[in-house]
Amino acid sequence: MNRAPKPLPPDPEMPAAPDPTLPPQPMKGRGAISNRPGRYELGERPLEDDGWQGAAAEDEDLPPLRTIVREDTSRTVIARNQSPDVPFDQSINPYRGCEHGCIYCYARPTHAYLGHSPGLDFETRLYAKTDAAALLERELRKRSYKPDVLALGAVTDPYQPIERQRRVTRQVLRVLSDFNHPVGITTKSARVLDDLELLADMAKRRLVMVSMSVTSLDRDLARKLEPRASTPDNRLDAIRQLSQAGVPVAVSVAPIIPALTDHEIEAIIAAAAGAGAQAVNWTVLRLPLEIKDLFAEWLIAHAPGKAKHVFSLVSQCHGGEIYRAEWGTRMKGQGPYAEMIRRRVEAASRKHGLHRRQWNLDTTRFAVPHDPDRQMELFC
């Protein structure tokens, strides 16, 4: 029977070691090691052997953890924020939860609001906003609506695997195209190419840009960090095809993980530039709320020899703490190590000509299209 990796000794810079009752090893195709309860749940629920399975069953593999998708019943679809360090004021997320399973994902704690675990639940218990396109059209038709660039996928990935069947993102893009509404897309999936024709058409009207996230060029490491996202090579190919079709693309080197992916900064920027990227975005790893424990479990399972070093450098970026939420520093950190990362990103960006934003999306084209249903009301 597979045994759990030996926990690290206590360390003030490391979160608590995993509970011994948690699953003993990573699950194939999943990022989180455990399903730790969210911060609103009442304590841990340890796994216990009740004796019914018998000794023979102990060596059998558990069945795969399947993805369950339910409909989201939200009455509005545009989320708004006033954060000074987020470059957009409004966004749409077609899905809650994300099957990509990125262990570092800052959106994981949002699943606690739904009564789910930010761990395995986040990547297996998903919600599709099937009415997103209709809700969006209703909001865009309001006389009070003022157009501004809308971020698509600011929290969870709009091109995660279930988009292939659900097509919620595609429906949203069609509405935005009909209204000549500008949109910025963030993804780490080559599935964005499914909408290449539509995106290319919108790009001709300066209505769209895509930010492709590339965390690592190491295929094996990427598979462990982001088990159901596209491979690094496929993401670079997506940048190439988008660029060739006239769609402006940025590479998002995010998050930069100290002692794990930081050595790849220059290589990622060079590869993306060679594929046609026009700009660079970046952040340093941040571990708010439940993510710090989930990430500690992941490190102990996949890179136990680097775990203490990673957390030591992370804490150096946040004033000696694992995470601090202050605006202006939470994304990129502060201190000597964070400053070194910033300088490396800026130097590599200048070297490859990606240090200037080369496009501006057009908000002046926005227009409410003719509504045939409303017109028919005149004859009723």
332 vs 101, higher pLDDT: 101
Q: Percentage of residues in the chain with pLDDT exceeding 90?
A: 67
* Predicted local confidence at residue 5, as pLDDT: 44
β-strands 90-92, 79-80: how paired? antiparallel
Residue 377 in this model has a pLDDT that exceeds 90: no
pLDDT in the model for residue 41? 61
Q: Cα separations (Å) of 188 from 144, 203, 252, 363? A: 34, 20, 9, 26
* DSSP designation for 332: T
Residue pLDDT, tens place only, 207-248: 999 999 999 999 999 999 999 999 999 999 999 999 999 999
> What is the percentage of the chain residues whose pLDDT exceeds 70?
81
**What digits encode the pLDDT tens for the residues 45-84?**
444 433 434 433 333 444 567 899 999 988 999 988 776 6
Q: Is the pTM of this model over 0.95?
A: no
Contact 239, 247 (CB under 8 A): no
Q: Which among 36, 53, 54, 33 is positioned nearest to 45, based on CA atoms?
A: 36
How do the domains of the chain map onto residue ranges? 65-355
Structural element, H or E, at residue 71: strand 68-71
Confidence of residue 154 (pLDDT cuts 50, 70, 90): confident
Over residues 364-378, the mean pLDDT reads 70
In CATH, what number does 65-355 get? 3.20.20.70
pLDDT of residue 324: 75
Q: What is the mean pLDDT of residues 100-106?
A: 95
If you search the block for the tokens 């865009």, which residue do you land on?
Answer: 140
> Mean pLDDT over residues 87-94, rounded?
87
- Calculate the average pLDDT of the chain: 85
Check residues 329 and 115 and name the one with the higher pLDDT.
115
Q: What angle do CA 190, 196, 200 make, to 5 degrees?
A: 135
Burial class (CB in 10 A: 0-12, 13-18, 19+), 380: exposed
Least confident of 2-11, 28-37, 48-57, 144-153: 48-57
- The burial of 234, by beta-carbon neighbours within 10 Å (0-12 exposed, 13-18 middle, 19 or more buried), is given as middle
Quick one: pLDDT at residue 289? 87
Question: Rounded CA gap, 379 and 375, in Å?
Answer: 8
Cβ atoms of 252 and 290 closer than 8 Å = no
Q: What angle do CA 90, 95, 96 make, to 5 degrees?
A: 95
d(CA 278, CA 281): 10
State in Å, rounded, how far the first CA of the chain is from the last one: 72
Q: What is the pLDDT of residue 326?
A: 73
Element (H, E) at 345: helix 336-351
Tens-digit pLDDT profile for residues 237-277 = 999 999 999 999 999 999 999 999 999 999 999 999 999 99
Beta-sheet strands, E only, within 129-191:
150-152, 183-187
Highest mean pLDDT (candidates 110-114, 144-148, 198-202): 198-202
The structure tokens listed for 47 are 């796994």
Task: Tell me the per-residue pLDDT of 14-54, one tens digit each, with 9 for 90 and over.
Answer: 665 444 444 446 777 787 887 777 766 655 444 443 343 44
**Mean pLDDT lowest for which of 204-208, 252-256, 309-313, 372-376?**
372-376
